[in-house]
Amino acid sequence: MPADLSPIDKAKFAAAKCASLLVEDGMKVGLGTGSTAAWMVRCLGERVREEGLRITGVPTSTRTADLARQLGIEIVSLDEAKWLDLTIDGADEFDPELNLIKGGGGAHLLEKIVATASDRMVVIADAAKEVAQLGAFPLPVEVVPFGWQTTRTIIEETLISMDVLGRTTSLRQNGSQPFVTDEGNYILDLHLNRIGNPRQLAVTLNQIAGVVETGLFIDICDMVVIGGAEGQVELRDIAAGTVRQERIDFPDTVNIFTDL
């Protein structure tokens, strides 16, 4: 492992490596998007090469699809796979009930579709992603470009009656232009500071015309795998009500770290 890898990256790798070991031969696996998910895809690619692991991956973004193909992982669409055994993805925040905020990378629409078409969703994260209440991370809301400013106004008016601490919204930018998702939509980031009732907020926002999907993942995640910089890993399974500790050895080889 490169000596200059940061403690956060080491924690992400530990979580990703541990979660990749949950994948069994013949599985159809949803492949998440983001920095931690990229570690996981690389770990799976290493297992495909070295162990002959046979899996079918359903990516949640063009970035993940490109990476998986480079690593020799067979890729199909969700329509081709129909149903998945497991989805592994990162999160921007998770609370004690394993509710999530996702969408920092702008792929939460596909991520939610893939996760809900799976028997299980496993989230991989470092300890900094754990919060007592969601909301410190801005909540992404994907919106149709047509009339997006009107949609934004309605969202801001709706937030007045919600249990949140902040109501500022911003259009996500890519340089001087609006950020555009893989599906051709815009993202509004809601700076709420604290979300008192995530379930109510998710339902309410999804009823607004022009809103495609929010980054709130409620009752979707089954397990969170939390990595530490020394290789320690905690696996919390909310369905089974179990918590177990494991340890991941960092590799000497740099194969999976190339080009990161």
pLDDT attached to residue 260: 40
Domain 7-130+219-257 listed as CATH 1.10.274.10: no
d(CA 116, CA 62): 19
Task: Quote the longest CA-to-CA distance of the chain.
Answer: 55
- What does the domain layout of the chain look like in residue ranges? 7-130+219-257, 139-214
pLDDT attached to residue 3: 53
pTM of the model: 0.93
pLDDT attached to residue 26: 98
Query: Quick count: other Cβ atoms within 10 Å of Cβ 119?
Result: 12
Query: Quick count: other Cβ atoms within 10 Å of Cβ 96?
Result: 11
pLDDT attached to residue 128: 95
Tell me: is residue 25 an annotated ligand-binding position: no
Tell me: is residue 102 an annotated ligand-binding position: yes
Whether the Cβ atoms of residue 246 and residue 236 lie closer than 8 Å to each other: no
Tens of pLDDT, residues 53-71: 999 999 999 999 999 999 9
Q: Return the CATH number of the domain spanning residue range 139-214.
A: 3.30.70.260
pLDDT along the chain (260 residues), means of 10: 76 96 98 96 97 98 97 98 98 98 97 98 97 98 98 98 97 97 97 98 98 98 97 95 93 53
The residues, ordered by sequence, that sit 6+ positions from 177 with a Cβ below 8 Å of its Cβ are none
Tens of pLDDT, residues 153-178: 999 999 999 999 999 999 999 999 99
Tell me: is residue 36 an annotated ligand-binding position: yes
pLDDT attached to residue 5: 78
Distance of CA 258 to the CA centre of its chain: 22
Q: Both tokens of residue 230?
A: 């020394």
d(CA 87, CA 76): 14
Tell me: is residue 166 an annotated ligand-binding position: no
Among residues 59, 50, 58, 118, which one has the least CA distance to residue 86? Answer: 118
d(CA 86, CA 25): 12
Query: Which residues carry out catalysis?
Result: 111
pLDDT attached to residue 189: 98
Tell me: is residue 14 an annotated ligand-binding position: no
